[in-house]
Amino acid sequence: MMNNKPMKIITLLLAGLLAVLAIVSLASAFTTFVEPVNNIINLGETAKFILIIEAGGFSDTYSIGTTNPNWIVTTEPDAVSVKAGAEGKFNLYLKPKSTVNEENTYRIPVTIESYTPGVGWQKQDLIVSVTGSGGKVYNPTINQSIGIDKIVDPRQQVPVIISLTNYVPRELYNVKIVVDGEIFQTEFPVNLTFGTKTKTLLFEIDPLTPVGKRTATLRVYFEDKLLGDASAEYEIKGYVDLKETSRKDSSLFKTEETYAIVNKGNEPTTAEKSFSVGFFKRLFTHFTPDAVKEKASDGKKYYVIRAELGSEEQLDISVETNYRLLVLIIIIIIAIIVLYYAFRSPIIVLKNAEPLGKTEEGLSEVKIRLYLKNRSRKPVSNIRVVDTVPSIAEIDKRTHLGSMEPVSIGKSKRGTVPRWELDVLEAYEERIITYRIKSKLTLIGGIRLPCSRVTFDAGKGKERTTYSNSINLLYKTE
């Protein structure tokens, strides 16, 4: 058999929950308002009020009474009933008993209670002034209230509404009103006649007022005595307002962009600036402060600078692109090329050696070629070519077909010195000088041939000399 105990528990819980909801619903089933018609009376007279009851979702009947034994409460009609969803207006009378003193103002608590169980009751404090034979009330009674928006935008004017109700039948002069909202204050005098006086005050506050809850307080003084006070809470709205300014300065191959981002809001925020910079430009760009390379939602990569800014804090960004070093390097390269072509020798000379007398014992004969070329656009005249043959070898003086004979063959400490002369080499003309040397001993391992020297006229009575390469001729026997 199935156990029904859990089902019973659940049923009881649901019933309890429905009962609680019903009580909550009934507790707010009606609303009451009271408007004074005549609340300034002589002793023995009756004060009159209008009682307004707004019924809830059902019709109901109400009883009216007071806990003050010195006053008698009556209504007209006697039965106070209101239909569901309707509004009922009734005359409510308060009559003082003989125990009430003259020349005083009284606050009488009146209760309005529903006959329906669980609906509850509401209380209204009614003010009645009882005059004496002279018709004066000496105890001033003022009801005060202050109203302000729950959320206050510090960038706009703040409206504060104060309401003052004078319950006594006399005019109160120089009533001092003090309004203190923590971030705004004012003080001024007013004259209050019988009844209610409402005034709207507009305050300008600092737009950078920090976010937070505050209290606006109203204090009322008469003849240096505090008659009463009221207060209302409000909250400063937070907002972010980033302002950006920029400037761009350009000079010779250098550009500097500066940005200033200021938080004009009243709460902290994150300020950031993104830059799209190509690879080549990035090589010459410097960020201050340092930028972080990030990939954005569009798939592109950006250099991002971000910082946390409090109120009135500023982020200064500098982006400097400087091509001066690159331009300087290019200028130096161009200058080197220009100087090279301007000052290079118009004559080039290359030296080549070819072993001829190869034997198993070593090398005995070498053929040497000197290759001359005028690489300039102008002819070069009075060319003298001087070579040096090491002492271990000597020039083969036999004439070979097509070779240019030296004009002289001399001796020096380093060996034999042959010399050739050419009257002129035309523009881009080439000449080859060939001769042979024989070693006095069989060369084992090779021979080193020093560079050749070419001297020619450089114009204006000056001479210029250029040199060929040297040769280290190696020869290995089997």
Indicate which CATH number applies to the domain containing 424.
2.60.40.690
Q: Which pLDDT score, from 0 to 100, does residue 20 have?
A: 45
What is the domain range of residue 66? 27-131
Lowest mean per-residue pLDDT among 280-294, 380-394, 443-457: 443-457
Asked, for residue 152, whether it belongs to a domain, the answer is yes
Short-list 426, 376, 380, 371, CA closest to 404: 371
In the predicted structure, residue 185 carries a pLDDT above the cut 60: yes
Amino acid residing at 380:
V
In the predicted structure, residue 8 carries a pLDDT above the cut 70: no
Domain co-membership, 200 together with 268: no
Question: 25 versus 228: which is more confidently predicted?
Answer: 228
In the predicted structure, residue 162 carries a pLDDT above the cut 60: yes
Amino acid residing at 303:
Y
Domain co-membership, 352 together with 463: yes
Counting the structural domains of the chain, the total is 4
For residue 98, name the pLDDT band (cuts at 50, 70, 90).
confident
Domain co-membership, 232 together with 263: no
In whole angstroms, how far apart are CA 305 and each of 288, 309, 319? Answer: 9, 13, 11
Bond into 289 cis (ω within 30): yes
Domain co-membership, 259 together with 199: no
- For the segment 449-463, the average pLDDT, to the nearest whole number, is 90
Q: How many CA atoms lie within 13 A of 329 on its CB side?
A: 3
Domain co-membership, 305 together with 197: no
Domain co-membership, 95 together with 192: no
Domain co-membership, 99 together with 115: yes
Residue bearing tokens 């001087």: 386
Domain co-membership, 149 together with 105: no
Asked, for residue 253, whether it belongs to a domain, the answer is yes
Q: Which pLDDT score, from 0 to 100, does residue 182 have?
A: 95
Q: Which pLDDT score, from 0 to 100, does residue 25 have?
A: 46
Short-list 355, 366, 264, 279, CA closest to 312: 264
In the predicted structure, residue 2 carries a pLDDT above the cut 50: no
Q: Which of 236, 271, 288 is the last residue of a domain?
A: 236
Q: Which of 271, 292, 324 is the last residue of a domain?
A: 324
Determine what percent of the chain is predicted with pLDDT higher than 90: 56
Asked, for residue 43, whether it belongs to a domain, the answer is yes
Domain co-membership, 36 together with 117: yes
Asked, for residue 331, whether it belongs to a domain, the answer is no
Question: 213 versus 119: which is more confidently predicted?
Answer: 213
Grouping H, G, I as helix, E, B as strand and the rest as coil, residue 211 is: coil
Domain at 121, CATH number: 2.60.40.10
Question: Distance between CA atoms of 144 and 196, rounded to whole angstroms?
Answer: 9
Lowest mean per-residue pLDDT among 128-132, 262-266, 271-275: 128-132
In the predicted structure, residue 257 carries a pLDDT above the cut 80: yes
Residues 6+ apart with CB under 8 A from 339: none
Asked, for residue 222, whether it belongs to a domain, the answer is yes
Q: Which of 266, 290, 324 is the last residue of a domain?
A: 324
Asked, for residue 341, whether it belongs to a domain, the answer is no
For residue 27, name the pLDDT band (cuts at 50, 70, 90).
very low
Domain co-membership, 45 together with 71: yes
Asked, for residue 8, whether it belongs to a domain, the answer is no
Which residues is 475 bridged to in the sheet? Answer: 445
Per-chain mean pLDDT for the chain: 87
In the predicted structure, residue 133 carries a pLDDT above the cut 80: no
- The predicted-structure confidence for 214-253, as pLDDT tens digits, reads as follows 999 999 999 889 999 999 999 999 999 999 999 999 999 9
Domain co-membership, 469 together with 354: yes
Q: Which pLDDT score, from 0 to 100, does residue 21 have?
A: 46
**What length is written for the chain?**
478
Q: Which pLDDT score, from 0 to 100, does residue 181 have?
A: 95
Q: What is the pTM of this model?
A: 0.54
- For the segment 54-71, the average pLDDT, to the nearest whole number, is 89
Q: Which pLDDT score, from 0 to 100, does residue 22 have?
A: 47
* Per-residue 3-state assignment (H helix, E strand, C coil) for 6-19: HHHHHHHHHHHHHH
Asked, for residue 6, whether it belongs to a domain, the answer is no
- For the segment 336-349, the average pLDDT, to the nearest whole number, is 89
- The predicted-structure confidence for 194-219, as pLDDT tens digits, reads as follows 888 999 999 999 999 999 999 999 99
Domain co-membership, 40 together with 111: yes
For residue 351, name the pLDDT band (cuts at 50, 70, 90).
very high
For residue 95, name the pLDDT band (cuts at 50, 70, 90).
very high
Question: How many other C-beta atoms lie within 10 A of the C-beta of residue 184?
Answer: 19
Per-residue DSSP letter, 358: B
